Structure 1
Amino acid sequence: MPAPHNRGKAKSKKSKPRNASASSSRPNDADEVYMFNIDNAEGWDKVVNILCDYFELPDLTTRSGLKKVHTNFNTIYARIDKFYEKNLGNVRIRGAIIGIYAKMCIDALLRTKLFDKGIVDKIMPLLNIDETRHLALCALNTITRHGGVNIRVEIAKNGGAIAKLLRDFPDDEKIANLGINVLSHCISAAVEGDEQPAHPAALKGIDLVDIIKTTLETAKRPHSHPGRMLGHTLELVVKSSLHGSTAYKQYTPAIGFLVAGMRSKDWTTRAACLDALLRLYHFEGEEDQRHLDPISFVNALRRDIPKNINDILMNYGPLRCDTYVTVSCLSESQKALHECANTRDIYALGLKQADLLPKAENALVDGGWQAENPNTGELEFIDIGLPFKMWSDSLPHCARAIREKKKPNEEVLADILDIKYAIMKRRLPEAVRLAKQGILRYPDQAYFYYAISLSGEAVQGLRAAKQGMKCKTITPFVKYQMMHRAVTHAGEMGMRLLQETEEVGNKKWEEGIAFLTSAFDDAKRFVREAPPDNRYMKNVSYWLVLLTILFAEDLNADLRELNPTFERLKIADQYNEFIGIPSPKTYLRLAQQAAVKYYASGMREFSRVFAELDKSRLEGYDEAELKINAEKVEDNLATWLDEIRLDDGTTEPTTQIRAHTNRPKVVFDNLTLYRCSWCGNPSAALKKCSKCEKTRYCDSGCQRLHWSEHKKTCVQ
C-alpha cells in the first residue's frame, strides 16, 4: 500500500528508525498507521480524507481531479473495492468508502459507472447501523440530488426503508431532513411521465401510501430549520399526484395538503398545489364530449321546465338564453336544408348556414335525409340528388358555391363554413390553419379567433381568445365560448409559468400571476354575464371555485363565500339532467369537489406547515412585494399580447432552447462542472464538439441527438 500523504491525515507519533530487516514490513506498518488514524479520527470528513490519501486519489473537489478519476477509473475502483471487501466488518471503512463514492457521484458519468458497480447495494445496509446512518443518508442525498434517473429509481425501490427511519427516529432532525430530501429526489423520478409512468414496474413496487403518509406526518412535527425539508415534502407530494393518484384516495390528508397549499403566501406554491390537484384526477375524469341530440333536446323542451330553472331563464331573458337561440337556429337550419332539397340552391343554403353557425354551437347537427328500407323496416340515409347525404357534408359544397359567385365580402362566409366543417369532423389543426388564413383577410371576424381558441396549445388559444373578444363582429355564443377558453388557457399558463420560477418579481413570476388573474377575472365575468343555460357554465364555475380559493384574502372554513357559485353549479346540473345530457365527471369537476370537501381539514392540519415553508421561501421579501398590483398585472398581460403575432401563433423573435442549455455550467459546493449540451448531465469528462469546441457531450450518442439543433450554429 502507498505511504501516507499529508492531506487529511491525523498526526501520529514518530517511530524509531528501522533497521534493514524491518524495511520489508513497512507496508504493514503503514496500514496500521492508517487504521489507527481512521479509528481515532473525529467526523466522517476526516475519515474520508484519510482514505483518499491512502488510495492516492486526486482532489475530488476539483474538475481536474475528477478527470483523473475518469482516466483511471477501473484501476481506482478495483483498488478501493478490494479494500472494501477486505474490511466488511469495519463500518468506518465501509462508510468512508461510500463517502468517497458520493464525492465522485457529483460527476454524472462517474455516477453511472458506480451505479453499474452496485453502489446502492453498498449504501442501503449502512442505514441500519447507528454509526453510519447519517453518513449513508448524506451519501444518498448527494447521489440523488445530482441527478441520474436510473439510480434514483433504484433508490426509490428502497423508499420504504427510508420512510421507516422517519418513523423510528421521530426526534432526529437530520434523519428527517435527509430522509425527505432523498425520498423527494427518487420518488419524483419514479413517478415521472405524461400519459404513462416512465418506470411502471418500479412504481408498482413502491408503497406510495406509506411514503406520502410518513413524509407528511414528519413534516407536521416541529423542526428547528424546516425550510428545505418542507420544500422537498411539497415536491414529493406534488409530483406524485399524476401517477400516484391512488395513494391519495387511500390517504386523503394528502389531498387536504394540496388544498391548504393553494392558500400559501408564495405564488409558486399555490400554482404547484392547484396544478397537482388537477392532475390528481387526470385519468379518472370523464371526457367532456356532450353531443346534442336535436330530437331528444326538442322533446325535453316539450315537457314542463322545472319552475326554478324556468324562473332563472325568464329573469335572464328567454330570447338571450342558449336554449331559445339553439332551438331557433336548429329550426331555421332545418328549414333551409329542406328548401335546398326542393330548389337545389346550394348557394342560398350556404348564406343561411354562414349566418346561423356563429350564433349557436349546434346550429347544424350531423343528420341527413332518411327513408324506411322496405326490406328491413329500418330508417336509412338516402340520396335525394344533392352532392351530399349528410347535412354536415353540405358545408364544403356551400363554401364552394359562395366562392364561385365571387361577390364582395362573401369569401368570409365561405371561410366560416370550411372552419365549421373541420370542427365538426374533429380536425382542429385544419380548422386553426384555415382560421389563421382568414384573419389575414378579415382581421375583425371573431369566428376565426374562436376557432383558434379551441386549440389545445395554450399560448395560441389564449392569444386568440383575448384578441377575438375585442372584435366588433361578435355574437354572444362566440363571445362566451372564447371567454371560456380564455379562462382555461390562462389558468394553465399561469400555473406552468409560476412553477418554472422561484424568484419573486421576475418576468415569469409576474406573467404567471397576470395569467391567473386574467383567468379569475374572466371566470367571474362569465358566471356573472353568460346565459345560465350555457354549456360551459359548469366548467367555468369549477375554475371560479378553484381560483377563488387561490385568490381570496379571507375564506371561512365552510367556504360560504362561494355559495352563489355553488348555486350556479346546482342549477346547471339540474338543467343538464332536464335536457337529457348529464354533466360528466370531468377532472375539473372532481378537482373542484375535492377542494371543497378537504378545504377545512386541510387548512386545519397543514396551515402551520405552509406558514413555515412561506417563511423560508419568502425570507427577505416584504408584504408589498407579494401583493398583486392590478394595474401592473394588466400591463403585463397587455405587453404579453403585444409581443405575439396573431397570424401564425409565434412570438417575435422566436427562440426555442432546451431548458437545460440555459445553464451550461453547474456549481456544486464550489466545484464547477460543464453540462452536456443535449441531456444536461454535469461531468468533468465531457467531450467538446471538434468543429466549434463550444458544445460538450457525454458521448457520441448525445452529440448525434443534438446535431439537428447544433448544426445551425456550429462553426463549420
Structure 2
Amino acid sequence: MQGWLGSATRFQPSLPSFPPPSYHMPGPGHKKKTKAKAQRPQDAVINWPAAPDALAWNIRAEFICDILNLPAIKSRSALKQIHSDVDAVQRKLDLMYVQHDDLYVRGTVACIWGKLCCDAKLHDQLLRKGIIGKMVPLLRHETTRFAILRAFAVMSHNGSEQAIVQIAQETSEALIDVIDDKKDSDPAAASLCVVILSHCLLAAVGDKEIKLNVASQYPWKRVLKTMLDVLESPQSNVDAWVHAMQFLVGAAMALRSYYLVEPRAPQFLCALLHANNMELRIQGMRGLMRLTILGSAAKNTKYHDPHKLFRAQFPEHITEAFWEHGLNRCDILQHGACAGDYQKAMIQVADTLDLIDLGRKLYSFIYRDELSIMKGGFMDENNRPIQTRLPFLMWDESLPHCAKALRDLGESKTFPVGNMKVSALDMADVLTIKWYLITSRYNDSFNTAVAGLARNPDELYYYYAAGVGQANPELKVQYSRKGLARVKAGVKIPSAKGAMMSIEDNYVRLGLLANSTEHALWLAFDLAETQGHDHAKWERSLALFKIAFNDAKAWTKNAPPDNRNYGRVYLMYIITKLLWEAPTLSADMREFKISRIAYNEPDRTQHRLTVETIRKHYTAGVKLFAPAIAQFGSIKELAGANVPLPAEQEALYAWFEEDPSKHDSGHDVLRLSRWSTDGLELYACSSCGNASAVLRKCSRCGTARYCDHSCQKKHWVDGHKKTCKAVDGS
C-alpha cells in the first residue's frame, strides 16, 4: 500500500559504496589474528523499489530487513532467529541508521526497533543499547514524527518496569513539546504523545510523594498542565482523554504536592463523581483516596467517660438529635445504666464469691454495651487496689475466671437470659473472647469465635468477634455478612428483662454493619486498583461497593447519634452514596448534613480528608469539567482513536498491532463499561449476601450461589427449598 507522508520530495542519498574487503593468505607460521569488524550493509545507497515518500512504513521496513538479511518480523520463528544473535542484528540496524542521514531510512530503522520491542526480552535488550536516543531526534521532523510516536506507543506497553521508566526519562520533554506544537494541527500525534506519557510516567511515579520544587528528571508541572488541558476540552481525542484520566487517577498519591497547588487536579477527580458512568465515578473516588492517603492519620476511636458525657452541656441541635432518636436508646444512657449494674454486680460478688452468677451477668452486660467491662476495682483511701477474697484484683480480670467456672459446668447446662436459654459453654466462650479483645489477643479471639460457630451458629457475638479479630478483610466481610444474615433470619440477641436496646440498635449488629461496610469498601477499591480488563473483577468490585453502601445506610439509620463510630461510618456512607447516586445529587451536596458535633478536632483519616476534598472542590469541578465528562462518559465503548488517519498511518497501526509472538497483551484496547446491576446476584451469596469470586452454585436449580455448605444449608431451611423445587419442577 502506498502511503502519504505530507511531502512530495523524493530523496536519493548519494553516499559512496564500500568496496569488498581483500584477503591475503598468510604464510606458514605467520597467521595473524584480525580484529572483528562490524558488518556493514550490503549497499550504502538504498535503492527503494519506488519513491520513498510513496511507500508505507511497513513496506520500507520489509525492504530494509531484506537488504540486511534479516527475517521479516511476522512470525514467532522470525523472533527466535533474531533472539539467537540479537547483537549482530542490532549492529546491522545501528550501522544502517548511522551511515544514512535520510529520514526515511532512519525512520524505517526506528520502526523496526519498535516492532522488535513487541517482544519483552528484545525490548529491554534494545533499550540498553541506546535506541531511544536515536529515535527522539526524529520527533522534530514531520516526515518521521508519527512513525516514531507509534513505535514509542508499542514500546511503552511492553517490557520491564525499569525499561518503561527509561522511556519516560528520555522522552517526556520531547513528547510534551510535540503536544504543545501539534495539539491543534495534528491531534492524532498529540493523542499518541498523551498515551505514551500516561503509560511511562505512571511507571515512573512510584508510591512515594514527589515533593514540589525538588529537582526532578521529569517535567511534572508541564505534564500535569498538559493532562488537565486534555481533560478539560470536549474536543480532545478519546484515547488521549481516557489515558489522561488514568494518569490523573494513578499519579494522585505520588504527585500530591503538585495536585494541591493546581486546583484543577482535585476538581477533575471530584467532577468524575458526577458522571453518569459508574466506572468513571469509581475512578474519581480512587484518585481522591490516593490523593489523601499520605496526609491522613490512622483512625483513633475515642472512649469517653459516660459520667463526663452525662454532665456535658450539648448544643441544642445535638439534644434534638438525641430526642429524635429516642433518649433512652442513646449510648450515653446505655453506658450509664450498664456501668451502674456492673458496679453492683462486682460489689455483690465480693460478698457471695459466686463466679457463675457473676459470669451470667457479665454475659448479659457484654451484649448490652460495648464498653460494659471496665477496668475498675476496689480501692482504699489512697486509691490503691484492695485484694479481696476473689481470685482477681481488677474487675476486668474477672472474665477468664468466670469463663472457667461456666465452662466446668459442661455444654448441657443452660441458663435463661430474657426469653432465651443460653448454654454455659457459649457464655464461657463469649466471656473468653471479650477478655481476648480487651487485651488485644485478636488471633485468640478469632479462633475461639470460629470454634464457637462450629458448635452454635446462632450465637451472634461469635460473628462480631470473628470480624473484629480477623486481619484478613475478605474474612471480616464474610463473617460480618453471615452474622447479619442470621439477624435477618430472626436470630435474637440475648438480653435481660427490661433491657432498653432492641436488636436494631444493639452494638453487635451495628458492629457487624460497620465491619462489613469498612472492609467491603476496602476490598472494592483494591479490586478496582488491580482489575485491568478483568470483567469479573469489575463485577465483584461493584457488588462490594453495593454491600458497603447498603450496610452504611442501614447503620446510619439505626445507630444512635452519640455512637463513638458515627463519624467514621457516616463518612463511608457519603463515599458510597456518591459512588451510587452522585448524578442525582445537587452540585453543592446540600443533601448531606455534615457538621462537627465533637469538642475535639476529628481525626484526619483518609475518609475524612477525602470527603473534605470533595466538599471543597466538587461544585467548581462539576462546572469546569462537566462538558468533557458528559461527552466521554456517554460513549459505550472506547477503543482506538476517534481522529481519522491517513491511509499510510492506518497501515502502520495494523503493522504494529500484528503480534509475531501470538501473545495478545490486551493493553492497547481501552474500554469504559456501561455499568448495570443486572449481574450483581451472580457475585453475592444467596444466604448471607457476601460478595465472592468463588461462590458455589446450587447443583439443583443453578441460580442460587453460596460461600460454603453452611450458607447453603441455612438458605435451604430459610426458604430456598420451595423456590428451588419450583425451578426444578419437582
TM-score normalised by L of structure 1: 0.75
| Cross-structure match for 1:587 | 606
The equivalent residue for 1:661 is none
User: Contact conserved, 1:256 with 1:599, CA < 8 A, in 2?
Assistant: yes
**Does the 8 A contact of 2:338 with 2:369 survive in 1?**
yes
Q: Which amino acid counterpart does residue 106 of structure 2 have in structure 1?
A: R
- 1:204 deviation in Å? 5.8
The answer to whether the 8 A contact 1:286-1:585 is kept is yes
| Alignment partner of 2:507 out of 445, 466, 477 | 477
In 1: Cα distance, 2:262 partner to 2:617 partner: 12
- Structural mapping, 1:556-567, within 5 Å: 556-560=586-590, 562=591, 565-566=592-593
SS at 2:183 equivalent? coil
For residues 130 and 390 of structure 1, the distance between their equivalents in structure 2, rounded to whole angstroms, comes to 83
CA contact (8 A) 1:365 1:391 kept: yes
1:102 equivalent in alignment to 2:114: yes
What is the deviation of 1:605? 1.8
Distance 1:276-1:264 versus aligned 2 partners, 3 A rule:
same
AA at the equivalent of 2:372: A
8 Å Cα contact 2:57/2:108 also seen in 1: yes
- Equivalent residue letter for 1:53: D
Deviation at residue 445 of structure 1 after TM alignment: 1.3
Verify: 1:599 aligned to 2:612, yes or no. no
1:133-532 equivalences in 2 (<5 Å): 133-158=145-170, 159-171=172-184, 172-193=186-207, 205-223=217-235, 226-294=237-305, 297-341=306-350, 343-366=352-375, 387-406=391-410, 407-408=413-414, 409-454=423-468, 455-469=470-484, 470-471=486-487, 472-474=491-493, 475=503, 476-497=506-527, 508-532=537-561
Tell me the residue number matched to 2:95: 82
SS of residue paired to 1:157: helix
Maintained 8 Å contact 2:234/2:631: no
Distance 1:398 1:281, change over 3 A: farther
Whichever residue aligns with residue 235 of structure 1, its letter is Q
Q: Deviations over 1:305-328 (max 9, x none)?
A: 333322321232222101111222
Deviation at 1:122, TM superposition (A): 2.9
What is the match of residue 579 of structure 2? 550
Q: Distance in 1 between matches of 2:78 and 2:696?
A: 45
* Cα distance between partner residues in 1 of 2:691 and 2:635: 37
Counterpart of 2:648 in structure 1 is: none
Listed as ranges, the gaps of 5+ residues in structure 2 are 1-9, 11-18, 23-39, 415-422, 494-502, 640-672, 698-730
Structure 1, residues 190-224: CA drift from partner, whole Å, max 9, x if none? 2345xx58999x99643434322211202333447
Q: CA deviation at 1:588?
A: 0.6
Residue pair 1:38, 1:47 contacting (<8 A) in 2 also: no
Matched, 1:93 2:90: no
Structure 1: distance between partners of 2:604 and 2:67: 65
For 1:534, give the aligned amino acid. N
Q: Distance in 1 between matches of 2:174 and 2:348?
A: 76
8 A Cα contact 1:643 1:652, kept in partner: no
**How has the CA–CA distance of structure 1 residues 154 and 536 changed in structure 2, closer, same or farther, with 3 Å as cutoff?**
same
Quote how far apart the aligned CAs of 1:392 are: 4.1
Cα 1:61/1:327, change in 2 over 3 Å = farther
> Which range moved further: 362-371 or 458-467?
362-371
Secondary structure in 2 matching 1:278: helix
CA deviation map 1:211-258 (0-9, x unaligned): 22211202333447x222222122111111233322221222121212
Residues 428 and 133 of structure 1: CA distance in aligned 2, closer, same or farther (over 3 Å):
farther
Deviations, residues 343-395 of structure 1 (Å, cap 9, x unaligned): 5544443332222122222112345666688xxxxx66676675555544443
Indicate how the Cα distance of structure 1 residues 33 and 82 shifts in structure 2: closer, same or farther if over 3 A, else same: closer
2:542 aligned partner, one-letter code: I
Aligned to 1:112: 124
Secondary structure of 2:374's partner? coil
Quick one: which amino acid aligns to residue 508 of structure 2?
V
Given that 2:685 and 2:695 are in contact with CA atoms closer than 8 Å, whether structure 1 keeps it comes out as no
Aligned position for 2:73: 60
State the superposition RMSD in angstroms. Answer: 3.7
Task: Provide, for residues 263-309 of structure 1, a one-character-per-residue CA deviation record: whole Å limited to 9, x for no partner.
Answer: 33332222222222222212222222223153xx4224223333332
Cα distance 1:306–1:238, how it changes in 2: closer, same or farther (>3 A)?
same
User: Which of structures 1 and 2 has the bigger CA Rg?
Assistant: 2
Q: CA-to-partner distance for each residue in 1:666-693, whole Å, 9 max, x for gaps?
A: xxxxxxxxxxxxxxxxxxxxxxxxxxxx
1:656 — aligned with what?
A: none
Structure 1: gaps spanning 5 or more residues: 1-11, 13-20, 374-378, 654-716
1:460 aligned counterpart, secondary structure: helix
Give 1:106 deviation, angstroms.
0.8
Give the letter aligned to residue 154 of structure 2: T
Q: CA–CA distance in 2 between the matches of 1:513 and 1:644? A: 9
Q: Which residue type is aligned with residue 562 of structure 2? A: D
Q: Please give the alpha-carbon distance, in whole angstroms, between the structure 2 residues aligned to 1:465 and 1:28.
A: 71
Write the distance in 2 (CA, Å) between the matches of 1:204 and 1:341: 70
Q: Determine which structure has greater relative contact order: mean sequence separation of CA pairs < 8 Å that are 6+ residues apart, divided by chain length.
A: 2
- Three-state SS of the structure 1 residue aligned to 2:627 is helix
Contact 1:271 1:494 in 2 (8 A): no
Could you tell me which amino acid in structure 2 is paired with residue 437 of structure 1? A
SS in 2 for 1:56: coil
The 1:371/1:187 distance shift into structure 2, 3 A limit, reads: farther
Deviations 1:471-516 (A, max 9, x none): 3233411111212222223333444556666889x65554443332
Q: Is the 8 A contact 1:643 1:651 kept in 2?
A: no
Cα drift, residue 583 of structure 1: 2.4
What's the offset of the Cα at 1:118? 2.4
Aligned partner letter, 1:404: D
Distance 1:241 1:385, change over 3 A: farther
**Counterpart-to-counterpart distance in 2, 1:58 and 1:511:** 46
Structure 2 residue aligned with 1:637, among 664, 670, 684? 684
Q: Structure 1 or 2: larger helix share?
A: 1
How far apart, CA to CA, are the structure 2 residues paired with 1:28 and 1:279? 53
Give the whole-Å Cα distance in 2 for the aligned partners of 1:63 and 1:168. Answer: 39
For residue 162 of structure 1, report the CA deviation from its aligned partner: 2.5
Answer yes or no: is the 8 Å Cα contact 2:377–2:393 preserved in 1. yes
1:38–1:50 CA contact under 8 A, matched in 2? no
